[in-house]
Amino acid sequence: MKDNSFLNKPVGIWIRVSTEDQAQGESPEHHLERARSYAKSKGWDVKEVYDLSGQTGKGVMGNDQTKRMMKDIERGHITGLVFSKLARLSRNRRELEDFSDFFRKHSADLISLSEAIDTSTAGGRMFFHLLGVFAQWEREEIVERVNASVLTRAKLGKSINGSSPYGFQWKDRKLVVKPEESAIRRKAYELFLEHRRKGHVAKLLNEAGYRTRQGSVWRDTTVLRILEESSAKGVYVFNRYRQLEGSWKTEMKPESEWGRIECEPIVTVELWDQVNQIIEEQLKSWKKPGKLPVHLFSGLAQCSCGKKMYVRAGSPKYICRGCCNKIGIADLESVIHQELKAFFTEPERIAGHLQSANHNLAEKSALLETHQREIQKVKDEMKQTHRLYLDGQITAQGFGNFYKPAEQQLNQLMAELPKLQAEVDFLRVNKLSADDVLHEASTLYGRWPKMPADDKRKIAESLIEKIVIGEGEIDITFSYLPSSEELCKSQQRLGPG
């Protein structure tokens, strides 16, 4: 091999500093200045700089800068390549060997400053090969250490990175509720339970002016993600999936590698389970739910076998399609009418449900506060954008690109605001004492037979969560009371029964 150590040797400088290295303070400019100073001390002429900043060292052969460098070697434009460290050239042993063969074939040299390697000598070529093996080993060892650390932290219930599930934030290494997100996430559960459509929930959230953490509009997939994620019920499970090598697909890790962190729940376990059971059933059946029920207890009545009970066209009975369990329409209404009287004449049950009503008021108030903060946030962003435009910092086109989406979001937020305020006002105004509720309950029971079917349906939806019908027994689960209070008052126009 000819001696290429003469003065004015044409060389190139190779710069590859990963994003992680840059975060630790190793700038591309630092490595470039180091290589230039070395070339100057040798009397070499720097012809080209090949900048691969941010490129991973796992594989660099396909990079455009690499291809340009190799063409410059082939045509003799440069006869040597200077870089700060072997690992900066590549961490892939196979690529390092290919580089060595390529440079030797074209009588060019590889110069690593940290390892003082010059491949123009036999000793330099051997050392280069050995260090390539070490670089590959170092990379594999780092991967193993990272994986071991992830597994250890997961088993100890510690976080792996800085991300947190929607509705939460990391504070002092603990997962705590983030009020401005948790209220929206709670509303998503309530909306899904009401409409049973992820896309419709996303539509309602967007129309209300809410956005995701990244400021994007809600979609069915993002709604599904926050509904299925278990942190909402008080247990954050992480480190469950790994990405398959060379693919965007993932596979589930063994449960022994999962990590779990307890946190403050956003919704009750019962609500989370109810929502996710619906999701699971929808995924199994792939069938769209039918139209809204028209009979008094349709959607509320279910068989003890677990299936819903419906009234077929022209039939006088609620029927379970699974086990053919039946009950007459008139019989069920009579039972419910008597249960209303029993329900409203037990003060301790009333007190318990009033407590639930107070909790509902607190949640609605929190959502209203979140909504008002979001409005102020958007207004502040719009003011800032407008100021930048007035100061000439952004163009008219740039102003429109930023301002119009914010204006649309603000309009949506403002349109939703009075609805939320009305809900909170209603709950505040109708916080009745137990005696008041008992008084209204007695009038409700007396007026029930004279009420129109639509009014009965509204009361049933407000008071009853579900009706389980078995052989010779009926189990009724009542929900919280606020809506029923309003409905009791709305019936006063009918007079006493």
**How large a percentage of the chain has pLDDT more than 70?**
70
Kindly tell me if the per-residue pLDDT of 483 is higher than 70: no
Beta bridge partners of 261: 236
Confidence at residue 10, expressed as pLDDT on a 0 to 100 scale = 93
Confidence at residue 487, expressed as pLDDT on a 0 to 100 scale = 36
Read off the pLDDT of each residue in 172-196 and give the average, rounded to a whole number.
91
Cβ proximity of 310 and 318 under 8 Å: yes
Read off the pLDDT of each residue in 2-28 and give the average, rounded to a whole number.
69
Read off the pLDDT of each residue in 54-75 and give the average, rounded to a whole number.
85
- The residue with greater pLDDT, 250 or 434, is 250
> pLDDT class for 264, splitting at 50, 70, 90?
very high
Over the stretch 321-348, which tens digit does the pLDDT of each residue have?
A: 888 888 888 888 888 878 777 766 666 6
Which of the listed CATH numbers 3.40.50.880, 3.40.50.300, 3.40.50.2300, 3.40.50.1390 matches domain 10-152?
A: 3.40.50.1390
Kindly tell me if the per-residue pLDDT of 15 is higher than 80: yes
Read off the pLDDT of each residue in 58-77 and give the average, rounded to a whole number.
89
Kindly tell me if the per-residue pLDDT of 224 is higher than 90: yes
Over the stretch 362-418, which tens digit does the pLDDT of each residue have?
A: 888 888 888 889 999 999 999 998 888 888 888 888 888 888 898 998 888 888 887
Sign of the CA dihedral running 204, 206, 208, 212: positive
Other beta carbons less than 10 A from residue 434's beta carbon: 13
For β-strands 317-320 and 309-311, DSSP reports them as: antiparallel
Other beta carbons less than 10 A from residue 214's beta carbon: 6
> pLDDT class for 186, splitting at 50, 70, 90?
very high
**How large a percentage of the chain has pLDDT more than 90?**
21
Task: Report the CATH fold assignment for 168-285.
Answer: Hect, E3 ligase catalytic domain fold (3.90.1750)
Kindly tell me if the per-residue pLDDT of 247 is higher than 60: no
Q: Which of 40-54, 120-134, 175-189 has the lowest mean pLDDT?
A: 120-134
Average pLDDT of the chain to the nearest whole number? 77
Instruction: Indicate yes or no: pTM above 0.85.
Output: no
Confidence at residue 416, expressed as pLDDT on a 0 to 100 scale = 84
Cβ proximity of 406 and 383 under 8 Å: no
Query: What beta strand segments (E) does 254-308 contain?
Result: 259-262, 301-303
Kindly tell me if the per-residue pLDDT of 488 is higher than 70: no
Cβ proximity of 416 and 208 under 8 Å: yes
From its phi and psi, is residue 209 left (phi > 0), alpha (psi between -120 and 50) or beta?
left
For β-strands 317-320 and 235-238, DSSP reports them as: unpaired
Read off the pLDDT of each residue in 123-151 and give the average, rounded to a whole number.
56
Kindly tell me if the per-residue pLDDT of 218 is higher than 90: yes
Over the stretch 426-453, which tens digit does the pLDDT of each residue have?
A: 566 554 444 455 455 556 667 777 778 7
- Quick one: which of 314, 352, 316, 313 has its CA closest to 333? 316
Beta bridge partners of 48: 12
Confidence at residue 60, expressed as pLDDT on a 0 to 100 scale = 84
Sequence-ordered list of residues with C-beta below 8 angstroms from that of 63, at least 6 positions apart, any chain: 52, 55
Confidence at residue 435, expressed as pLDDT on a 0 to 100 scale = 45
Confidence at residue 361, expressed as pLDDT on a 0 to 100 scale = 76
Confidence at residue 73, expressed as pLDDT on a 0 to 100 scale = 95
Hey, where are the domains in the chain? 10-152, 168-285, 291-497
Over the stretch 313-323, which tens digit does the pLDDT of each residue have?
A: 778 888 888 88
* Structure tokens, 394: 């952004």
